[in-house]
Structure 1
């Protein structure tokens, strides 16, 4: 049976290499086969399986969640993981609400020595998972959650941020050299600023830093309240021209982060509803989940009279999103001849 599991992992690797769409039935078929043989999965294979699921955005699928839950005890026993595996496993644990375990795994597998040798890619991937861990941890405090272990601040977070900060500053001093990867440095910058802001620590960087515009769109949205008007206008323009899958990826990340703000939510969902081009059943199902969750959060905010950072009042944004839901536009595929033109809500027309 062990050989069968190995063959299935080889198949996952081929699917990833060929960039087979996440909606393809073959993915679910392979996950089902692995789950049926879950007792034969060994420790070495666990990070590989989870990384394939995470890298291909399949974490929301029921069988993927069942696999995560079954493998959770094994994940917690793993040590000496590389940083990329640590990031993927922490993220996977967060998606099944095992937040304490995600932080424990992070604390166990990240230290000064490992960060000292971390390359740009590893740092960038790790910071994205740290952002999710801290954001969810902060959401637990805000909700008065029980069972929270540890402070928002930790020596592990400190060493990760310190390494990222040093990398950014070194890149800035050598930015005229071809070896500087502007996109990765930009990602490091926006994630670091976001984490420092969550932890209420001195940012150490200006919102107009030269690498900001190279950061990912979702990363810049996270720190948009710290950016200049020019940078924010750029974000709006990029959202308005982004593809369906790109917008869905941003909303997926924000969904799992349990974000404490609603910046650009109206822009993101408006673009999702207006974007032409086919959307698979899986994508439409994901979109409805993210929309329903955001509506639920806003309803709670309105009920408790909580105003969170956003371009609109919570009540106005809630009405806007309910309007999208009531049209049913996210229930069916989009085609170029059918576009939903629900107006953008602004303070002037709201």
Structure 2
């Protein structure tokens, strides 16, 4: 057998073999290299595609932007047993049962409670005097401001995580409710056959709570989640905590079979537009909040990816490098508090 010039020499083969470990090490180094903020923001945009719910989340989690104008929001039952009350900026979610109301969040002030929540419940066929619990998703005033008014007027019990009770005790904000019931991680609250499961999802605040509960649409049962606090906190360590919370809650959602996505700031998830679609009857027999198990998981994946981008951007800023830039950002947020 003869070897022509096209056949590799023994020396060339040995040289190529020697390069294999180096190539492997280079590949490993490339895989281990930290990803840029641009990488994560672009990845989140690809994950969102043309889905309006996911695109809104990408926009909301992109750095920059200003507070949206606050406009009235007419109350609406978005499910047979769930009503939304509030403004275009922040909403309270009322779970309606045969034995009373579980209200998640209480808007920003006693005036909001008296002029928005109370008449809003009446307009959707619920009695505000039957508010049994006010669940505060996190310790910011736009979520607890009306809680004490409802407790004083109707005897409602106010619930919040211990960490956020401590937060408001330290900060002493106006309209803070008196310390009442503490929400533990994994706690279940049942009223007339409706069971809400609370999960600690710290990060936005030290004691943010996200919920999973059953809803009904035209008699059919679905399982909803309500994420308790969306806007990333300022500190990088707190962003990492939020990321861990998102990963853990996504797992809880998967286990519970969540197919409905809700938020207490409807601007961050296209919720306001979906409310108006329901009000107009343009969705037919469908409900735009029922997005399916796959899309709820993709929603959390987009959130995870954007949080990784925000962490990477913090790291780039601290090291004096930047790859995010205006062009890399998938959009400009109109929300800085949620």
TM-score by length of 1: 0.30
Greater helix content: 1
Higher RCO, 1 vs 2 (CA within 8 Å, ≥6 residues apart): 2
Greater strand content: 2
TM-score by length of 2: 0.31
**Higher Cα Rg: structure 1 or 2?**
2
